[in-house]
Amino acid sequence: MTETVLEIVAAHRSGTATPAETMARTYARIRAHNDPAIFISLRDEADAVAEARALEAKGDTNLPLYGVPVAVKDNIDVAGLPTTAACPAFSFMPLHDATAVSRLRAAGAIIIGKTNLDQFATGLVGVRSPYGVPRNTFDAELIPGGSSSGSSVAVAAGLVPLALGTDTAGSGRVPAGFNNIVGLKPSLGLISTHGLLPACRTLDCISIFALTVDDAWAALAAVAGPDAADSYSRNRPTGTPGAMPQRVRLGTPLPGQALFFGDKDYEAGYQAALAKLAKLGCEIVEIDIEPFYETARLLYEGPWVAERAIVAQNLLASDPDAIFPVTREITIGGLRPTAMDAFSAFYKLERLRRVSDGVFAHQVDALVLPTAPTTYTVKQLQADPIQLNSRLGTYTNFVNLLDLCGLAVPASLTSKGLPFGITLLAPGGQDARLAEIGRIFHADTQLPMGALNVPQPALATVPNAAGVDEISIAVVGAHLSGLPLNGDLRSLGGRLLEATKTAPDYTFYALNGTVPPKPGLLRVESGKGSAIDVEVWALPKTAFGAFIDTVGAPLSIGTVILADGRGVKGFLMEAAAASDAKDISSLGGWRAYLAQAKA
C-alpha cells in the first residue's frame, strides 16, 4: 500500500502506479470518507486526472513530488479556486498561485482542493467556520484542532499524503498533534508567504502536514527558498537532516511548571516521551519555562491583536455579522490598542528574546514540549470558546514571536486510544536539526501513520556526508556537542556528521588564558603524535565565512587529517602558542581533559 509521499513517488517512477491512478484513488477516498467539512472547494476529478495524465506525458519522473496529490489551506492562493479564509463574504478568485503552491507544482505535485480552517486563521480549535467542523480522525466528538483543521484531517485520514497549512500561533502544530501526524513549522521566512492571506503578517508562516518527517522534509525542500515578492522572506540555509545528533540537550520545564489542566493521560504521555528521548541518547535538561509562557501571553496583547484586524477591517466596518461570532469578538479587539500599547509590547518582547537567546546559547540545544496540554470536545469549545482555545496555545503561542522553528511529531496513544504528540523547538535556521531528532523519535514510537492503521515505512538511512552546498569541518574543543560554543555552529545551520578521531599525527594542548577554555591541535611528523577525538560537522557554504570570521589567534582553520585518511577543514593552532600551553595529548580529547579538570 502506497501511503507516503516517498512511496507514491517511488511507485510512479517504477511504473507500479501512475499519477492518474493515484489521483483517481484520492477522489475515491474522499467520497468514501464522506466528510463535507474537510474541503471548502474541491477541483473537479476529471480536471485533476487530466493534469496527472499531462504530467505523465511529459515524462519527467525525476521531479521530487512527481504526481503527489496535495491539499492547500483556504487562506493560501491557488489559481482557479476561490480564497475564502472560511468567510464567504470575503471570498475572491486569485489570478495567480501563491509562491509555495507554484513551487509545489514545479516539483510535480497536483493540487486537488482548498481545505477548511478557523475563520481568518484565528483559533487553534477547528470549530470556528461556517463550513462546518472537520471530524477528528480518532473521535468525532473531539475538536480536530486548528486553525489548519481541514489540512490536518485530510492527511490523517489518508485522503492526501501532503497538505499545506499555516502557523502563526500553533495552527500548524496543534492539529497535527490531535490527528497523529507530523506538523512542520519552518523558520520564519524560509517558505515564502506571498499569496498567503495574513493573520499576523510579521509572524505568519506556511506549514506542512505529512504522515512522516521525511515526507514533510521532501515538501520543505521543494518549496523553501527566498522570494523577492515576499518582503518577509529570508535567505536562510535549509540544510539537510543527517544522523541523530549525539548528546543533544533538550529542555523541559522545571518540576511543577508543565501545564496539563488536569489531563493525566497527556502528562503521562509527556513523561514517556522524555524517557524515550533519553533512551535515544538525548540529555533532558530542566529549564525555567516561565519566560516562554510570558512571551506567549503577549500574543493577544497590543500589536498582534491589531495585526489580526487588518485583513478583516473593511468587513468589520461594513458587514460585521458576516464574520463568525467568536472571530468577530477577537478581531474587534484589535481595533482598540494604541501605538503606545504596541511599543510597550515590543519592548517587553525584546527583553524576552534576550532571555530565550540565553537559554539556547548556554543551557539547551532545543526544547521538547507537549504539542498541546490537553484536548476538548466540540461541545466544550462551543461552551467556552476563548479560554479553552487559549489553553491549547500554552506551548505554541510564543514560538513565532521568538523566531523559533518547530516540528510536531506523534509520541503515543493515550489509555483512551487518542493521539498525544510532542513538539521540538529550536532557534530559526535549525530546521534540519529538529528533523534529525524527530524522524528517529517518530520511527522509534512504532505508531501507525495518522488514522490509517498502517505501519510507518522503514526509515531510510541518511547519508553521513556533507552535501554539495556544505563544507565539512572538524571541531575539537568548545564547539563540540553540548559545549559552550556549539550553538555558534548550530545557529549557522551546521549539522553533526560523525564523532571520530584524527590520524595519530597531532599534539593536543590546553591553551593558556582563553575564555571559555580552548584547546589547540598541532600537527607533527606522521605517526609520531596522538589520535585526538573530534566531531565532524557539515556547515552550509554560505555560512562558512561567518563562522571562520569568529576564529582568532592563536587558532586558525586548516586541513585536519582524520583516522581514515580523509582531510577536512578544522581547527589548528600556531606553533608559537605551544610554549606556554599544557600538553594534554595523552588524554585523547577535550572532554577527557574537562572531566579531569573538574575532578
C-beta separation of 171 from 399 below 8 A: no
Spell out the domain ranges in the chain: 5-296+339-445, 470-598
How far apart (Å, rounded) are the C-alpha atoms in residues 588 and 258? 41
How large a percentage of the chain has pLDDT more than 90?
Answer: 75
At residue 501's C-alpha, the angle toward residues 497 and 504, to 5°, is 150
Interval 299-303 mean pLDDT: 79
| pLDDT exceeds cutoff 70 at 462 | no
Least confident of 20-34, 211-225, 572-586: 572-586
Q: Indicate whether this model's pTM tops 0.85.
A: no
Q: For the segment 80-99, what is each residue's pLDDT rounded down to a tens digit?
A: 999 999 999 999 999 999 99
User: In the prediction, which pLDDT does 468 show?
Assistant: 66
Q: For the segment 494-511, what is each residue's pLDDT rounded down to a tens digit?
A: 888 888 899 899 999 999
Which of 497, 518, 587, 486 is closest to 283 using CA atoms? 486
**Class of domain 5-296+339-445 (CATH, top level):** alpha beta
Q: What is the mean pLDDT of the chain?
A: 93
**Domains 5-296+339-445 and 470-598 fall in the same CATH topology:** no
How far apart (Å, rounded) are the C-alpha atoms in residues 147 and 165? 8
Which of 586, 548, 550 is closest to 570 using CA atoms? 548
Known catalytic residues? 73, 147, 171
Asked if CATH classification 3.10.490.10 holds for the domain at 470-598, the reply, yes or no, is yes
| pLDDT exceeds cutoff 80 at 290 | yes
pLDDT band at 61 (very low <50, low <70, confident <90, very high): very high
Which of 377, 406, 451 is closest to 125 using CA atoms? 377
* Cell numbers standing for residue 294: 510570558
pLDDT band at 331 (very low <50, low <70, confident <90, very high): confident
Which of 501, 447, 541, 487 is closest to 240 using CA atoms? 541
| pLDDT exceeds cutoff 80 at 156 | yes
CA 293, chain centre distance (Å): 20
Which of 299 and 29 is assigned the larger pLDDT?
29
| pLDDT exceeds cutoff 80 at 467 | no
C-beta separation of 481 from 577 below 8 A: no
* Cell numbers standing for residue 23: 489521483
Peptide bond into 241 cis (omega under 30): no
